[in-house]
Amino acid sequence: MRTDERIAVAMAELLRRQGYAATGIKQVVEASGAPIGSLYHHFPGGKRAVAEAALRQSGAAYGELVASLLAPYGDIAAGIEAAFIAAADDMEHTGWVNMCPVGTVAGEVVDVEPELRTVAAEVFEGWIEGGAALFRERGLTDDDARALITAVISALEGAFVLSRTLRSRDPLIAAGRGIAAYARELLADPMVRSG
Amino acid sequence: MRTDERIAVAMAELLRRQGYAATGIKQVVEASGAPIGSLYHHFPGGKRAVAEAALRQSGAAYGELVASLLAPYGDIAAGIEAAFIAAADDMEHTGWVNMCPVGTVAGEVVDVEPELRTVAAEVFEGWIEGGAALFRERGLTDDDARALITAVISALEGAFVLSRTLRSRDPLIAAGRGIAAYARELLADPMVRSG
DNA sequence: ACCGTTCTAGAACAATCACTCTAGAGCAAG
DNA sequence: CTTGCTCTAGAGTGATTGTTCTAGAACGGT
């Protein structure tokens, strides 16, 4: 792995554990093994540039992960519920470390670091595009597909926070069941629902 | 308002905008008008103690707010959807400031400030107890009521993050519709659903 | 008037922050 | 070997952090 990649990976790991503001550049160089000089050589933009790279990198990785969890299921609802259960298993086994650095960082930097908000928004939009395409293939209209994947991501990010804080699988399980019900309703009868 | 309350309110306002680590004690004294000496007199535990008070205070306030949004509706699903729409309205009108400091802080302090995680967990559990009682009154079993309110809070917290980051009402609207569908499913036929 | 407690007030402190700077190692090209 | 460029290496810098400290103002009880 290249030095700049090692730095970005170390930053992503720290971001998902403790967020952006609490993560020191000294921690990043210690975790990555790279000296400070190398970090500022590869990332002249400093801490914010490293965080940007970390968000984009893990954003792409998680997009593929979620897609690979959903893809095997012919039934959208079953796929969604299984993905949330898989997330709950993973969090429990890793000692309740948040899976997603993007959500953690997005929550705290919106008003302080405008560039990072933009990057997080791009990552979220990428996930929505990818997920909507997947759901359209399963027969949903474009509007329904976008609404469903947006609800999936929202519920997933929120349930991450609750499950980690409560140290319990319950929020992820409940959120998964909830959005699975939404998927069933969208597939069953697109006309009856409200909105 | 007492001095310690003014300090806690100022802290809560800063927490929901920029999180715990990025909020300096100097910012709190400036925003509250209280001098540093007074802050440390009322909160010998320092920054963490101020954050604890802020989380408990706004936790109680938001618990009542959500309950007051849900209560007027005889139909649970309609109440949930209306609450998410109200949240979207509020966020848009306030310039996409996060409504909830608890979610923002919970995401970043879990591994760094154990005491704050505990406080956030107590707040979440309080919300779940209150919401579950409300849903039981509407005819849900205890298990279903707890699952539903847990899904509501998870989706709400996650949609806050997405809506704020994307500067769009869509995530809150989609999440509200999604969980409303879950409520309809629980009420319609408790036996058919998976899980 | 006096005392004790509570609270205000902000200067001062050590520690830590992101970052800069200079020096040199490594390597490919001529 | 020399040159030029990329990257490593970490000591050093000024600003900022959360916190402590001393001094005095405000106030109720006697």
Q: Please give the structure tokens belonging to residue A175.
A: 């959120």
Angle, CA of B132, B122 and B8, to the nearest 5°: 120
- Given a contact cutoff of 8 angstroms between Cβ atoms, the answer to whether A162 and A171 are in contact is yes
Q: What is the DSSP string of chain B?
A: --HHHHHHHHHHHHHHHHTTTT--HHHHHHHH---HHHHHHH-TTTHHHHHHHHHHHHHHHHHHHHHHHHTT-SSHHHHHHHHHHHHHHHHHHTTS--S-HHHHHHHHHTTT-HHHHHHHHHHHHHHHHHHHHHHHHTT--HHHHHHHHHHHHHHHHHHHHHHHHHT-SHHHHHHHHHHHHHHHHHHH-TTTS--
Q: Tens digit of pLDDT per residue, chain A (195 long)? A: 889 999 999 999 999 999 999 999 999 999 999 999 999 999 999 999 999 999 999 999 999 999 999 989 989 999 999 999 999 999 999 999 988 999 999 999 999 999 999 999 999 999 999 999 999 999 999 999 999 999 999 999 999 999 999 999 999 999 999 999 999 999 986 554 444
Mean pLDDT of B96-104: 92
pLDDT, residue A98, reads 83
Whether B40 sits with its Cβ under 7 A from any strand C atom: the answer reads yes
**Domain presence at residue B99:** yes
* Amino acid at residue number B3: T
The CA-to-CA distance between both ends of chain B, in Å, stands at 49
Contact list, A182 vs chain B (CB under 8 Å) = 177-179, 181-182
Q: Give the number of other Cβ atoms within 10 Å of residue B65's Cβ.
A: 17
Residue A189: burial class (beta carbons within 10 Å; 0-12, 13-18, 19+)? exposed
Q: Give the number of other Cβ atoms within 10 Å of residue B130's Cβ.
A: 16
**Domain presence at residue A30:** no
What does the DSSP 8-state code read for residue A193?
S
Through-space separation of residue B58 CA and nucleotide C6 C1' in angstroms: 27
What CATH number has the domain bearing residue A60? 1.10.357.10
**Domain presence at residue B25:** no
Nearest CA-CA partner of B19 in A22, A195, A8, A153:
A22
Cross-chain residue pair A157–B162, CB shorter than 8 Å: yes
pLDDT, residue A115, reads 96
**Torsion on CA atoms A168, A171, A174, A179, rounded to nearest 10:** -140
**Mean pLDDT for all residues in chain B:** 94
Rounded CA gap, A148 and B174, in Å?
7
Q: How many domains does chain B have?
A: 1
**Domain presence at residue A162:** yes
CB-to-strand C under 7 Å, chain A 27-86: 27, 36-37, 40, 46-48
pLDDT, residue B99, reads 85
Rounded CA gap, A108 and B23, in Å?
10
Mean pLDDT of B100-117: 95
Through-space separation of residue A103 CA and nucleotide C22 C1' in angstroms: 40
**Domain presence at residue B61:** yes
Q: Please give the structure tokens belonging to residue B119.
A: 């406080």
pLDDT at B162 over 50: yes
Contact list, A111 vs chain B (CB under 8 Å) = 17-18, 97
pLDDT at B195 over 50: no
**Domain presence at residue A46:** no
pLDDT, residue A99, reads 85
pLDDT, residue A52, reads 98
What does the DSSP 8-state code read for residue A75?
S
What are the tens digits of pLDDT across the range A141-190? 999 999 999 999 999 999 999 999 999 999 999 999 999 999 999 998 65
Q: Which domain holds residue B144?
A: 55-194
Through-space separation of residue B52 CA and nucleotide D28 C1' in angstroms: 32
Q: pTM score, two decimals?
A: 0.94
**Domain presence at residue B154:** yes
pLDDT at B193 over 90: no
**Domain presence at residue B68:** yes
